[in-house]
């Protein structure tokens, strides 16, 4: 009996401990430390939030990409978009040179990641859609209000919640690792504003 007890104790001491989930804030509420700008758009920090606007001096979409890359994660972010606005959040977008046209755009090309759409006007790519890949299953949230979006990437599966409702459940994904990004649309001149705050990722 003593022999069995010793074996059980030995196994418990050498078994690897499961790593506890780690949560990190991607936005410090003060400046754009930890992020890099790409293509066009104007990105500022105003009253503790990230604001994205169209740049009339350099027309085209603009991106703000995280320095860090992530594989499996649980992302939570609060967004606010003005009436008629068009934006998005990129996930698993491989680290590369980004541009405003063609397959240089994040979320485009065979090796690209995914844009989780923020748009309450495009019926094909409504908020929560994986742009041009998987449409949102229902409408959730609204313009000109702070809405929480949650994106969980786990293995080949991507799930999206908006305003607490599951709006997308897609698999298999084509990319497995990449940055997290923010977008301001730039197809035509506009005065729309998109804002982000409380950006945290748990891995």
CA gap 54, 62 in Å, rounded: 8
Residue range 123-149, pLDDT digits in tens = 999 999 999 999 999 999 999 999 999
Angle 93-95-101 from CA coordinates, rounded to 5°: 70
Residue range 31-55, pLDDT digits in tens = 999 999 999 999 999 999 999 999 9
65, 35 Cβ separation under 8 angstroms: yes
Residue 14 has a CB neighbour count (10 Å cut-off) of 6
Domains in the chain, ordered, with CATH?
Answer: 22-202 (2.60.120.560)
Angle 66-70-72 from CA coordinates, rounded to 5°: 145
Whole-prediction pTM value?
0.89
Phi, psi of 62 (to 5 degrees): -130, 150
CA gap 150, 159 in Å, rounded: 8
């Amino acid at each position: 009996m003593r022999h069995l007890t010793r074996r059980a104790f030995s196994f418990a001491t050498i078994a690897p401990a499961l790593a506890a989930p780690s949560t990190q804030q991607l936005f410090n509420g003060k400046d754009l430390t930890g992020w890099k700008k790409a293509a066009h758009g104007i990105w500022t920090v105003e009253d503790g939030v990230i604001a994205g606007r169209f740049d009339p001096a350099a027309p085209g979409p603009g991106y703000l990409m995280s320095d860090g890359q992530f594989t499996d994660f649980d992302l939570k972010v609060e967004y606010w978009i003005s009436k008629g606005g068009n934006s998005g959040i990129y996930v698993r977008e491989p680290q590369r040179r980004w541009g405003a046209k063609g397959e240089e755009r994040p979320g485009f090309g065979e090796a690209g990641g995914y844009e989780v759409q923020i748009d309450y006007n495009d019926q094909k790519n409504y908020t929560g859609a994986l742009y041009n890949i998987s449409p949102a299953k229902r409408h959730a949230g609204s313009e000109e209000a702070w809405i929480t979006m949650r994106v969980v990437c786990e293995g080949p599966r991507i799930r999206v919640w908006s305003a607490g409702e599951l709006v997308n459940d897609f698999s298999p994904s084509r990319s497995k690792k990449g940055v997290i990004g923010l977008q301001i649309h730039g197809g035509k001149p506009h005065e729309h504003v998109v804002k982000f705050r409380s950006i945290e990722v748990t891995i």
